[in-house]
């Protein structure tokens, strides 16, 4: 029998949330969130790559409480962890994205709302007291796409993230086995024309969309350094290194392994963020050491929603933030600027 979804007292890390969420979610919902593409090799690599990176602590540093603040696109974030765009939150909790937005606000976190939200953007904006970004899939109906990002901008969303790694969906066998689909009781108001696109998305579309809004535009789904350079040439404001949580093309590298190569080619021209496999504060530390400005977490937020709605989301983010602070203290890094490659162990 499922445990009480609102009792969060026994959940002390993000892995605990996944275990409890599996017991509380329908099988259809859990398989959708937890699964990756094909044999899920990349899904596993996203975690294994973080675990393989060793830390090199510095002791007796003169610090009391680390400073996790950063400036991103003109506003200050209290810590470098954002909520990644994930779909269909009403599959996981009756309040869906409203719970996520409330939890993000309680944790002072920026929430990147998915195009596949099951809640209208106006309703999400009404309950959010922290910055919102909007994630976009470019659809065949270009005018609808343009109107959608302009709608987000008019509602006060602070940035647009264009997902560029999904011209088609990946091989998702676990979803196939449960015959995944939205129940008739749920609606995703901005999900039009699902399936393969008839009109390919190109770099010209990125330039066009960038010209349609006056807020920062980021591209999400960059793994190839050459693509990172091309993105900068189109004038984007930021890059999100992502393999879509291992959900699209299996056997691509873990994002933390790709990150240093993207950082080298970008050479500080725009901020670089990354997602994929973040489960511990030490993971955040490692990503920043390798050049990320901030990270995004996706699956753990879905598990947080499933376990306790807004309170679950807030606790997931609070755990990660507190773990990051402890990791900074234990490695002798008082500010985010002090987190660089020397914090990583390099054997002689």
Query: Does the annotation mark 89 as catalytic?
Result: no
Nearest in space to 89 (alpha carbons), one of 274, 292, 238, 301: 301
Q: What is the pLDDT of residue 195?
A: 52
Query: 195: left (phi > 0), else alpha (psi -120 to 50), else beta?
Result: left
215's tokens: 């807020």
For residues 282 and 70, the answer to whether their CB atoms sit within 8 Å is no
Q: Which helix (H) or strand (E) holds 190?
A: none
Per-residue model confidence as pLDDT tens for the chain (348 residues): 234 446 899 999 999 999 999 999 999 999 999 999 999 999 999 999 999 999 999 988 888 899 999 999 999 999 999 999 999 999 999 999 999 999 999 999 999 999 999 999 999 999 999 999 999 999 888 999 999 999 999 999 999 999 999 888 889 999 999 999 889 889 999 986 555 567 888 999 999 999 999 999 999 999 999 999 999 999 999 999 999 999 999 999 999 999 999 999 999 999 999 999 999 999 999 999 999 999 999 999 999 999 999 999 999 999 999 999 999 999 999 999 999 999 999 864
Alpha-carbon distance of 288 to 294, in angstroms, equals 7
Torsion of CA 173, 178, 184, 189, to 10 degrees: -30
60's tokens: 């007796």
For residues 252 and 39, the answer to whether their CB atoms sit within 8 Å is no
pTM for the whole structure = 0.95
Nearest in space to 284 (alpha carbons), one of 245, 254, 256: 256
Alpha-carbon distance of 263 to 259, in angstroms, equals 6
User: From the candidates 102, 244, 247, 333, which is the catalytic residue?
Assistant: 244
Q: Which domains does the chain carry?
A: 14-337 (3.20.20.70)
Q: What is the pLDDT of residue 2?
A: 39
């Amino acid at each position: 029998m499922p445990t009480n979804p609102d009792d969060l007292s026994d959940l002390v890390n993000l892995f605990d949330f996944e275990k409890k969420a599996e017991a509380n979610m329908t099988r259809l919902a859990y398989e959708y969130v937890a699964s990756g593409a094909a044999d899920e090799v990349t899904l596993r690599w996203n975690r294994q790559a973080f675990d393989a990176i060793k830390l090199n602590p510095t002791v007796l540093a003169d610090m009391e409480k680390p400073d996790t603040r950063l400036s991103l696109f003109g506003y200050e974030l209290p810590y470098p962890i954002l909520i990644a765009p994930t779909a269909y939150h009403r599959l996981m909790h009756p309040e869906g994205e409203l719970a996520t937005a409330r939890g993000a606000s309680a944790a002072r976190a920026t929430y990147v709302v998915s195009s596949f939200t099951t809640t209208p953007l106006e309703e999400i904006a009404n309950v959010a007291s922290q910055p919102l970004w909007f994630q976009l899939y470019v659809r065949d109906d270009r005018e609808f796409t343009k109107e959608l990002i302009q709608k987000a901008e008019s509602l006060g969303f602070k940035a647009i993230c264009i997902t560029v790694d999904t011209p088609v969906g990946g091989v998702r066998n676990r979803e196939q086995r449960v015959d995944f689909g939205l129940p008739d009781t749920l609606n995703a108001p901005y999900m039009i024309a699902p399936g393969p696109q008839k009109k390919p998305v190109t770099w010209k579309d990125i330039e066009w969309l960038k010209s349609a809004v006056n807020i920062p535009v980021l591209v999400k789904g960059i793994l190839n350094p050459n693509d990172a350079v091309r993105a900068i040439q189109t004038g984007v404001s930021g890059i999100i290194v992502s393999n879509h949580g291992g959900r699209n093309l299996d056997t691509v590298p873990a994002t933390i392994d790709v990150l240093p190569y993207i950082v080298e080619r970008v050479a500080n021209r725009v901020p670089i963020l990354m997602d994929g496999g973040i489960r511990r504060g030490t993971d955040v530390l490692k990503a920043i050491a390798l050049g990320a400005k901030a990270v995004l977490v996706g699956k753990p937020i879905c598990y947080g929603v499933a376990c306790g709605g807004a309170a679950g989301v807030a606790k997931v983010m609070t755990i990660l933030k507190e773990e990051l602070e402890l990791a900074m203290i234990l490695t002798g890094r008082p500010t985010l600027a002090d987190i660089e490659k020397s914090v990583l162990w390099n054997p002689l």
